């Protein structure tokens, strides 16, 4: 039994349900540039990870499987069995796990700025840095990898808000999730994913570069389609208009049949 997570529900009352799952160090606010457009065609459920936003932070370390159980518990509490999923970074890892291990729960899968496996050493170093310095002092460095320099310079308010998300994340929650990413390796389970899958990569993303990460997802998941966007890691913000269109089209075509998005 997972942890019941803080969530919000927006959009069409009777539309296909889309779950939005965010990145390490963010809150469900990261999807605000997307909700208005997505909500015109879909029922949108945003969920804070454990230890993030207004969700509780059980003692760590965590695994991606445990984080997935949290989401399933939360969806069960809402009476939602079959949903479309759009996750970014860690949120996409959770989506991959659910799609392969609980295939009846995911009708369409969008994987943004993510990987089936990361080298653990940088995450062990991140854990050590947070333990030594805390999250607040590290927030500028972390957020500096989320946006391209030009976009960040033009949107200082958005960058400042992103730093607040990181600084406000509970340290146990952040460290527990770092451990989950460090031990995450789903490469051998990608061929079990049967949901129609869209992979979105930022062409300037230093966290999960399209080569090799997105390319591996496209080649290992049957029928997966890859789109590369002019953005860094939080591509849902930096390339919001393109992401909104791609996600709506993908979900409606998967759930209601080809051509439903037109």
Domains of the chain listed by start with CATH number: 7-256 (3.40.50.1820)
Cα 204 → chain centroid: 17
Are 20 and 86 spatial neighbours (Cβ–Cβ below 8 Å)?
yes
Radius of gyration of the chain from Cα atoms?
17
Cβ within 8 Å of residue 43, ≥6 positions away: 9, 10, 11, 12, 13, 14, 15, 16, 17, 18
pLDDT, position 262: 65
pLDDT, position 183: 97
The widest CA-to-CA distance across the chain, in whole angstroms, is 53
pLDDT tens-digit profile, the chain (262 residues): 899 999 999 999 999 999 999 999 999 999 999 999 999 999 999 999 999 999 999 998 999 999 999 999 999 999 999 999 999 999 999 999 999 999 999 999 999 999 999 999 999 999 999 999 999 999 999 999 999 999 999 999 999 999 999 999 999 999 999 999 999 999 999 999 999 999 999 999 999 999 999 999 999 999 999 999 999 999 999 999 999 999 999 999 998 887 776 6
HSE of 57, CA atoms in CB hemisphere, 13 A: 16
pLDDT, position 213: 98
For residue 241, count CB atoms less than 10 angstroms from its CB and return exposed for 0-12, middle for 13-18, buried for 19 or more.
exposed
Cβ within 8 Å of residue 229, ≥6 positions away: 200, 201, 202, 203, 235, 238, 239, 242, 243
Q: Full-prediction pTM beyond 0.85?
A: yes
Alpha-carbon span 64 to 93, nearest angstrom: 7
Alpha-carbon span 254 to 94, nearest angstrom: 20
């Amino acid at each position: 039994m997972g942890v019941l997570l803080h969530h919000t529900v927006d959009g069409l009352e009777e539309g296909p349900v889309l779950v939005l799952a965010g990145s390490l160090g963010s809150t469900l606010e990261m999807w605000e540039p997307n909700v208005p457009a997505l909500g015109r065609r879909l029922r949108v459920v945003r969920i804070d990870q454990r230890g993030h936003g207004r969700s509780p932070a059980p003692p760590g370390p965590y695994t991606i499987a445990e984080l997935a159980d949290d989401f399933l518990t939360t969806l069960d509490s809402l009476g939602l069995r079959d949903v479309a999923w759009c996750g970014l970074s860690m949120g996409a890892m959770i989506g991959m796990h659910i799609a392969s291990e609980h295939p009846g729960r995911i009708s369409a899968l969008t994987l943004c700025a993510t990987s089936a496996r990361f080298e653990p050493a940088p995450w062990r170093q991140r854990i050590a840095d947070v333990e030594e310095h805390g999250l607040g002092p590290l927030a500028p460095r972390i957020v500096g990898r989320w946006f391209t320099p030009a976009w960040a310079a033009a949107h200082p308010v958005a960058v400042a808000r992103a730093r607040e998300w990181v600084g406000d994340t509970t340290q146990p929650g952040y460290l527990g999730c770092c451990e989950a990413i460090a031990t995450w390796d789903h490469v051998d389970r990608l061929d079990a994913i049967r949901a129609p899958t869209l992979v979105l990569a930022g062409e300037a993303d230093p966290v999960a570069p399209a080569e090799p990460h997105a390319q591996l997802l496209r080649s290992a998941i049957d029928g997966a389609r890859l789109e590369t966007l002019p953005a860094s890691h939080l591509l849902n913000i930096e390339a919001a208009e393109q992401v909104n269109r791609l996600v709506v089209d993908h979900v409606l075509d998967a759930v209601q049949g080809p051509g439903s998005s037109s």
